[in-house]
Structure 1
Amino acid sequence: MDTAAIDRFEAGRGRLASLAYRLLGSAADAEDAVQDAFLRWQAADRDHIEVPEAWLTKVVTHLCLDRLRSAQARHERAAGDWLPEPLLEGDPMLGPAETVEQRESVSLAVLTLMERLSPVERAAYVLREAFTYPHAEIAGILDITESASQQHVHRARRRVAAERRGGDPADPATARKVVEEFLAAATSGRTERLVELLTADAVAVSDGAGLARRLLRYRTPERIASLVRAGFTPSAAKRRMAGGNPTMHLTLLNGSPAVVAVVEGRVVGAVAFDVAGGKVASMCGIAAAHRLGRLNEEWQRYEPGAPIASAW
């Protein structure tokens, strides 16, 4: 390829990666999909491509749909072993975040809920909510009718809204304040206060540091509060598993307040919070190394504030 063709692709790489990440929930898979798109761009008859951005968007979307429909992906998701890969604030793969819809579409809570959608519903929802494509263009990208695009987006919105815990999500400032109160209660051992700060239908999900065969799910405020309190209780076993004594940092993952545990500059775990109605509606705990690769890369360039806790 000539330099102009390469430059044209690279100019859109960030947007394509953000699209692929929202569709796949994995930074590594998103990078692979974009690289596959580059190979197709390289082999294409580019003189006959009228709108390169539209052509590349369609190619990446269909590459992601193929991955979502693959036997391996269906098995992993059906087996309950799937969680989104968290991204640190400022990561360019998060993509557009100007509107509430764009920010919500990349939150760990919504990425997890989108697992309930069919691949085409997920693609239509992402193209509409995150990238504000009109239905006519979505129809062209997905090779469906405009009416079908409208139906897919409507069903996706309805299903995501129905599964949201605690009602409408809180604004960023309120969410951070609630999480700070929640963490203060956790570190001081005030279990009753933890229960008060959880919605009645709260749920916590964890990958069990990659040691459990299936995702671990906890329901009821009392059960979750007990789990959180135990998580902040020091123990030699936890230190051995983490490889040292971690510091806990409050930051943003996928636009939501989160706690990141770090040992000697290495991220060993993270918990992201979804806040609604002034309370914690859901928690997502991730500690499996294969889900923390991108987060670790970005953490090396990140300047965290003072830790909220410096020892277990």
Structure 2
Amino acid sequence: MNDNDFLAGRFEEHRGHLKAVAYRMLGSLSEADDAVQEAWLRLSRAGAGDVENLAGWLTTVVGRVCLDMLRTRTSRREEPLETRLPDPVVSPPDGLDPEQAALVADSVGLALLVVLESLTPAERLAFVLHDMFAVPFEEIAPLVGRSPAAARQLASRARRRVRGSAPVPDPDMARQREVVEAFVAAAHRGDLTALVAVLDPDVVLRVDAGALAEAAGPRAKVGVAAGGGYAELRGAQQVAGQAVTFRRHSPSSAHPALVNGQAGLVNTIDGRPSAVMSFTIENGRIVEIDILADPDRLAALDLTVISR
């Protein structure tokens, strides 16, 4: 075995961890893969001869790469870009494989990733590296070009935002599934009263349908605003009404799934995936529903095991 093969083997030991870091930073599975690949290129050029803690070194390298990617996103925005949902991690209802489990450990649901999208790049880096991966502020500070005390303040601001905005999902998976099944049954019956009963009064529905919203007509719109592919609805009555309207116009079938480790659904039309639905359930009621119906992004996900 030559030195490069040995180095590649050591890198592979950390790949799952590094992708988990990048996914939390970027909310995109493909960009997370790109960030991890860039970390390998930097390691292969630099070597690991003087690196005492390879896992820590690679974590900060991935953090720096992701920070640069986030800043590039921001710098390209001459005007605000259309909002989009983070990529979901979808798996069969009977469990996650080891790579998926690493990606969504510590209840990294779509609801949390949506809140992380609202942070500045520096705040997101400080929060993700310190609060999720225990990287010391002394190591985070050089990445953001600030003192350790200032890096601590970045994480503190992000933590307040997360605690104030991201719901904490119920840990009981059986209870989660019961609530989702009750929601689906009520929507199929067109029972607004039963739907409102399983929805939190302040429930939020987010729909990301991409270009589909403008091209595919009422079956695909799922409440998407006519002027774009992303929309939000708030309030139990509004969300319940939208669910009934969608079920009336869409001949889709719903297949149970885990979406970021929480109870969810993959909807299909004529056997083809049409949407991934993530439910965040708190205190026995649905507080957030996130629907990805963008056909291009759905095509990039492996949904065959769920929808067949």
Q: TM-score range with shorter-chain normalisation? A: 0.7 to 0.9
Deviation track 1:17-62 (CA, whole Å, cap 9, x = no partner) reads 1111111001011111111111111111432333222221111111
Match of 1:114 among 102, 113, 116: 116
For 2:208, the equivalent position in structure 1 comes to 207
**Residue of structure 1 in register with 2:231 after alignment:** 216
**Distance of 2:128 and 2:207 partners within structure 1:** 25
C-alpha distance in 1, partners of 2:104/2:195?
A: 30
What is the total number of aligned residue pairs between the two structures?
286
Asked if structure 2 preserves the Cα contact closer than 8 Å seen for 1:107 and 1:254, the reply is yes
Change in Cα spacing, 1:140 to 1:66, as seen in structure 2 (3 Å) is closer
Q: How has the CA–CA distance of structure 1 residues 179 and 125 changed in structure 2, closer, same or farther, with 3 Å as cutoff?
A: same
Q: Is residue 2:294 matched to residue 1:288? A: yes
Unaligned 5+ segments in structure 2 are 214-227
Higher mean displacement: 86-95 or 196-205:
86-95
What is aligned with 2:245?
230
Q: Would you say the 8 A contact 2:255–2:306 is kept in 1?
A: no
Cα RMSD, aligned residues only: 2.6
1:176-206, Cα deviation, whole Å (9 max, x unpaired): 3222221221122211111122112111110
What is the aligned partner in structure 1 of residue 156 from structure 2? 154
TM-score by length of 2: 0.83
Q: Is the alpha carbon distance of 1:97 and 1:68 closer, same or farther for their aligned partners in structure 2, counting shifts above 3 Å?
A: closer
Give the Cα separation in 1 of the matches to 2:113 and 2:283: 20
Query: Structure 2 counterpart of 1:252, which letter?
Result: L
Letter in 2 for 1:22: R
Q: Using the TM superposition, give the Cα deviation of residue 123 of structure 1 relative to its aligned residue in structure 2, in angstroms.
A: 1.5
Output the TM-score relative to the length of structure 1.
0.82
Is this contact kept in 2: 1:16–1:34, CA < 8 A? yes
> In the superposition, relative to structure 1, how do residues 13 and 257 fare at CA in structure 2: closer, same or farther (>3 Å)?
same
% identical equivalent positions:
34
Letter in 2 for 1:268: S
Q: Deviations over 1:142-173 (max 9, x none)?
A: 554332333222211211222236xx432233
- In 2, the alpha carbon distance for the partners of 1:153 and 1:184 equals 42
In the alignment, structure 1 segments of 5+ residues that lack a partner are 240-245, 308-312
Q: In 1, distance between residues paired with 2:147 and 2:181?
A: 47
The answer on 1:95 being equivalent to 2:102 is: yes
Q: How does 1:189-200 map to 2 (within 5 A)?
A: 189-200=190-201
Which residue, 274, 279, 287 being the options, matches 2:285?
279
- Contact kept, 8 Å, 1:204 with 1:224, in 2: the verdict is yes
